[in-house]
Structure 1
Amino acid sequence: MHLVVTAHTANGPLSHQRASPEDALEKARELEAEGHDHVVIIDITGRHYALPEFDSLFLNPGT
Protein backbone atom coordinates (compact mmCIF):
# COMPACT_ATOMS: atom_id res chain seq x y z
CA MET A 1 0.00 0.00 0.00
CA HIS A 2 1.31 3.45 -0.91
CA LEU A 3 0.29 6.30 1.39
CA VAL A 4 1.42 9.90 1.66
CA VAL A 5 1.15 11.86 4.90
CA THR A 6 1.03 15.61 4.35
CA ALA A 7 0.94 18.62 6.63
CA HIS A 8 1.15 22.39 6.36
CA THR A 9 4.13 23.76 8.26
CA ALA A 10 5.45 27.26 8.85
CA ASN A 11 7.96 26.56 6.06
CA GLY A 12 5.40 25.20 3.58
CA PRO A 13 3.98 21.77 2.82
CA LEU A 14 5.65 18.65 4.15
CA SER A 15 5.11 15.10 2.84
CA HIS A 16 6.19 11.66 3.98
CA GLN A 17 5.62 8.37 2.18
CA ARG A 18 4.61 5.30 4.15
CA ALA A 19 3.93 1.70 3.10
CA SER A 20 1.47 0.62 5.79
CA PRO A 21 -1.64 2.17 7.33
CA GLU A 22 -0.13 1.82 10.80
CA ASP A 23 3.03 3.70 9.84
CA ALA A 24 1.05 6.41 8.04
CA LEU A 25 -1.21 7.03 11.03
CA GLU A 26 1.76 7.06 13.40
CA LYS A 27 3.56 9.67 11.28
CA ALA A 28 0.39 11.75 10.93
CA ARG A 29 -0.14 11.79 14.70
CA GLU A 30 3.51 12.76 15.16
CA LEU A 31 3.08 15.72 12.79
CA GLU A 32 -0.07 16.84 14.62
CA ALA A 33 1.72 16.58 17.97
CA GLU A 34 4.44 18.85 16.57
CA GLY A 35 1.74 21.47 15.94
CA HIS A 36 1.44 21.21 12.15
CA ASP A 37 -1.88 22.06 10.49
CA HIS A 38 -4.04 20.24 7.95
CA VAL A 39 -2.47 16.83 8.50
CA VAL A 40 -4.02 14.28 6.13
CA ILE A 41 -3.25 10.86 4.71
CA ILE A 42 -3.59 10.43 0.95
CA ASP A 43 -4.10 7.03 -0.67
CA ILE A 44 -2.96 5.88 -4.10
CA THR A 45 -6.19 7.15 -5.70
CA GLY A 46 -5.57 10.67 -4.36
CA ARG A 47 -8.31 10.58 -1.74
CA HIS A 48 -7.55 12.60 1.40
CA TYR A 49 -8.41 11.25 4.85
CA ALA A 50 -8.53 13.06 8.15
CA LEU A 51 -6.85 11.03 10.88
CA PRO A 52 -10.01 9.83 12.69
CA GLU A 53 -11.58 8.79 9.37
CA PHE A 54 -8.44 6.95 8.26
CA ASP A 55 -8.21 5.18 11.61
CA SER A 56 -11.84 4.01 11.50
CA LEU A 57 -11.64 2.86 7.86
CA PHE A 58 -8.25 1.15 7.76
CA LEU A 59 -7.16 0.27 11.29
CA ASN A 60 -10.28 -0.03 13.42
CA PRO A 61 -13.20 -0.69 11.08
CA GLY A 62 -16.60 -0.67 12.68
CA THR A 63 -15.68 1.69 15.51
Structure 2
Amino acid sequence: MHLVVTAHTANGPLSHQRTSPEDALEKAQELEAEGHDHVVITDITGRDYAPPEFDSLFLNPGR
Protein backbone atom coordinates (compact mmCIF):
# COMPACT_ATOMS: atom_id res chain seq x y z
CA MET A 1 0.00 0.00 0.00
CA HIS A 2 1.31 3.44 -0.92
CA LEU A 3 0.20 6.36 1.25
CA VAL A 4 1.38 9.97 1.40
CA VAL A 5 1.03 12.03 4.57
CA THR A 6 1.05 15.77 3.90
CA ALA A 7 0.97 18.77 6.23
CA HIS A 8 1.03 22.46 5.46
CA THR A 9 3.87 24.20 7.26
CA ALA A 10 5.06 27.79 7.38
CA ASN A 11 7.59 26.83 4.69
CA GLY A 12 5.11 25.08 2.42
CA PRO A 13 3.85 21.51 2.13
CA LEU A 14 5.75 18.71 3.84
CA SER A 15 5.11 15.14 2.62
CA HIS A 16 6.12 11.72 3.90
CA GLN A 17 5.55 8.38 2.17
CA ARG A 18 4.39 5.37 4.17
CA THR A 19 3.57 1.79 3.19
CA SER A 20 1.17 0.79 5.96
CA PRO A 21 -2.02 2.42 7.24
CA GLU A 22 -0.73 2.24 10.82
CA ASP A 23 2.50 4.07 9.95
CA ALA A 24 0.62 6.69 7.92
CA LEU A 25 -1.77 7.45 10.77
CA GLU A 26 1.07 7.59 13.28
CA LYS A 27 2.96 10.11 11.11
CA ALA A 28 -0.19 12.19 10.55
CA GLN A 29 -0.84 12.34 14.30
CA GLU A 30 2.79 13.28 14.90
CA LEU A 31 2.54 16.16 12.42
CA GLU A 32 -0.69 17.38 14.05
CA ALA A 33 0.94 17.22 17.48
CA GLU A 34 3.76 19.39 16.12
CA GLY A 35 1.12 22.01 15.28
CA HIS A 36 1.04 21.66 11.50
CA ASP A 37 -2.16 22.55 9.66
CA HIS A 38 -4.27 20.63 7.17
CA VAL A 39 -2.72 17.21 7.72
CA VAL A 40 -4.08 14.63 5.26
CA ILE A 41 -3.36 11.07 4.24
CA THR A 42 -3.62 10.47 0.49
CA ASP A 43 -4.24 6.98 -0.86
CA ILE A 44 -3.15 5.54 -4.20
CA THR A 45 -6.34 6.81 -5.89
CA GLY A 46 -5.55 10.40 -4.85
CA ARG A 47 -8.28 10.67 -2.25
CA ASP A 48 -7.40 12.69 0.88
CA TYR A 49 -8.48 11.72 4.39
CA ALA A 50 -8.17 13.65 7.63
CA PRO A 51 -6.47 11.49 10.27
CA PRO A 52 -9.67 10.75 12.27
CA GLU A 53 -11.54 9.79 9.09
CA PHE A 54 -8.66 7.56 7.93
CA ASP A 55 -8.57 5.88 11.34
CA SER A 56 -12.32 5.18 11.36
CA LEU A 57 -12.38 3.89 7.77
CA PHE A 58 -9.21 1.79 7.62
CA LEU A 59 -7.94 0.98 11.09
CA ASN A 60 -10.93 0.99 13.46
CA PRO A 61 -14.11 0.69 11.40
CA GLY A 62 -17.31 0.65 13.38
CA ARG A 63 -15.99 2.65 16.29
Same fold (TM over 0.5): yes
Q: 1:22 deviation in Å?
A: 0.2
Partner of 1:25: 25
Alignment of 1:13-52 (within 5 A): 13-52=13-52
Give the TM-score of the pair, scaled to structure 1.
0.98
Unaligned runs of 5+ in 1: none
Across the aligned residues of Structure 1 and Structure 2, the Cα RMSD in angstroms comes to 0.4
Q: 1:48 deviation in Å?
A: 0.3
Percent of matched pairs sharing the same residue: 90
Q: 1:33 deviation in Å?
A: 0.5
Unaligned runs of 5+ in 2: none
Query: Matches of 1:50 and 1:35 in 2, distance apart?
Result: 15
1:7 aligned counterpart, secondary structure: strand
After superposing on structure 2, the runs of 4+ consecutive aligned residues of structure 1 that deviate more than 3 Å are: none
CA deviations on 1:2-61 (whole Å, 9 max, x unpaired) are 000000001100000000000000000000000000000000000000111100011001
